[in-house]
Chains A and B, each alone.
Chain A
Amino acid sequence: MLILTCPYCGVRADETELSPGGEAHLTRHGPGSSDDDFHGYLFTRENPRGVHFERWRHAYGCGKWFHAARDTMTLEVFGTYPAQTTEPPRDICDAITARHPGWNWRDFS
Chain B
Amino acid sequence: MSHRLPDLGRLIDRSKRIGFRFNGAPLAGHPGDTLASALLANDRMMVGRSFKYHRPRGVVASGAEEPNALVNMGEGPGFEPNQRATTTELFDGLTARSQNHWPSLEFDVGAVNTYLSRFLPAGFYYKMFMYPRAFWKHVYEPFIRQSAGLGQAPKDRDRDTYEHFYAFTDVLVIGGGVAGLQAAHSAAQSGARVLVLEQTAHWGGRAPVDGGSFGGAPAEEAVEQLLEELRQMDNVTLRSRTMGAGVYDHGYVLGYERLTDHLPLAKGPRHRLWRIRAAQIVTATGAIERPLSFAGNDVPGVMLASAMRDYAVNYGVAAGKRIVVATNNDDAYRTAICLKEAGVEVARILDARSRGGGALMEEARALGIRIDCGRAIGKVSGGKRVAKVMICAQDGAGGALEEVACDAVAMSGGWSPVVHLWSHCGGKLLWDDQQALFRPDPDRPPTGADGAGFVRAAGAANGHAGLDAILSDATAAGRAAAKAAGFKPKRTAAPRGESTEEQPLEPVWLMPREAEPHLRAKSWLDFQNDVKVSDVQLAAREGFESVEHTKRYTTLGMATDQGKLSNINGLAILSDALGQPIPATGTTTFRPPYTPISMGAIAGEARGDVFQPLRKTPMHEWHEQQGADWEPVGHWRRPYAFPRAGERVHDAVEREVKNTRQAVGLLDASTLGKILVKGPHAGRFLDMLYTNMMSTLKPGRCRYGLMCSENGFLIDDGVVARIDEDTFLCHTTTGGADRIHAMMEEWLQTEWWDWKVYVANLTEQFAQVAVVGPKARELLNSLGGMDLSAEALPFMAWADGQIGGFDCRVYRISFSGELSFEIAVRAGQGLAFWEALMQAGETFGVMPYGTEALHIMRAEKGFIMIGDETDGTVIPQDLGLDWAISKKKDDYLGKRAQERPHMTDPNRWKLVGLETLDGSVLPDGAYAVAPGRNANGQRNTQGRVTSTYHSPTLGKGIAMGLVLNGPDRMGEVLEFLGTDDKTFKARIVDPVFYDKEGEKQNV
| A interface residues with partner B (beta carbon < 8 Å) | 1-3, 14, 21, 28-33, 35, 38, 41-42, 55, 57, 59, 63-65, 71, 74-77, 83-84, 99
Contacts and interface: CB of A to CB of B under 8 A. Distances in A.
Interface in B868-901: 890-891, 895-897, 899-900
B493 to A, nearest CB: 35
B277 A14 contact: yes
Contact of B750 (A3, A32, A65, A76): A65
B102 interface: no
Contacts of A2: 249-250, 449
A9 B939 CA distance: 58
Most buried by B among A42, A75, A83: A75
B749 A30 contact: no
Contacts, number: 67
Given A2-B250, A42-B711, A57 B746 contact: yes
A107 to B, nearest CB: 19
Interface residues of B, number: 27
Given A3-B250, A30-B895, A57-B746, A75 B447 contact: yes
Interface of B: 248-252, 277, 447-451, 710-711, 742, 745-746, 749-751, 753, 890-891, 895-897, 899-900
A99 B710 CA distance: 36
Contacts of A99: 451
A41 B890 CA distance: 19
Given A74-B451, A76-B447, A76-B449, A83 B750 contact: yes
A31 B447 contact: no
A75 B745 contact: no
Contacts of A38: 896-897, 900
Given A33-B896, A42-B710, A63 B745 contact: yes
Given A14-B277, A31-B899, A65 B450 contact: no
A65 B899 contact: no
B906 to A, nearest CB: 19
Contact of B890 (A21, A31, A84): A31
Contact of A29 (B448, B711, B749, B896): B896
Contacts of B252: 1, 3
Nearest to B895: A31
B7 to A, nearest CB: 50
Contact of B749 (A41, A59, A84): A84
Contact of B249 (A1, A30, A32, A65): A1
B449 A75 contact: yes
B745 A35 contact: no
A73 B920 CA distance: 59
A86 B449 CA distance: 24
A35 B750 contact: no
25 contacts: A1-B252, A2-B250, A2-B449, A3-B252, A14-B277, A21-B746, A29-B896, A30-B891, A31-B890, A31-B891, A31-B895, A35-B900, A42-B897, A55-B750, A57-B746, A63-B745, A65-B745, A65-B749, A65-B750, A75-B447, A76-B450, A77-B450, A83-B753, A84-B749, A84-B753
A53 to B, nearest CB: 13
A66 to B, nearest CB: 9
A39 to B, nearest CB: 9
Contacts of A84: 749-750, 753
Contact of B277 (A3, A33, A42, A75): A3
Contacts of B449: 2-3, 75-77
* Residue among A41, A55, A76 with most chain B CB within 10 A: A76
Contacts of A59: 742
A95 to B, nearest CB: 9
Contacts of B890: 31
A28 B751 contact: yes
Contacts of A65: 745-746, 749-750
A83 B749 contact: yes
Nearest to A59: B742
A83 to B, nearest CB: 5
Nearest to B168: A12
A33 B900 CA distance: 11
A35 B903 CA distance: 13
A75 B891 CA distance: 39
Contacts of A32: 896
A75 B249 contact: yes
Contacts of B746: 21, 57, 65
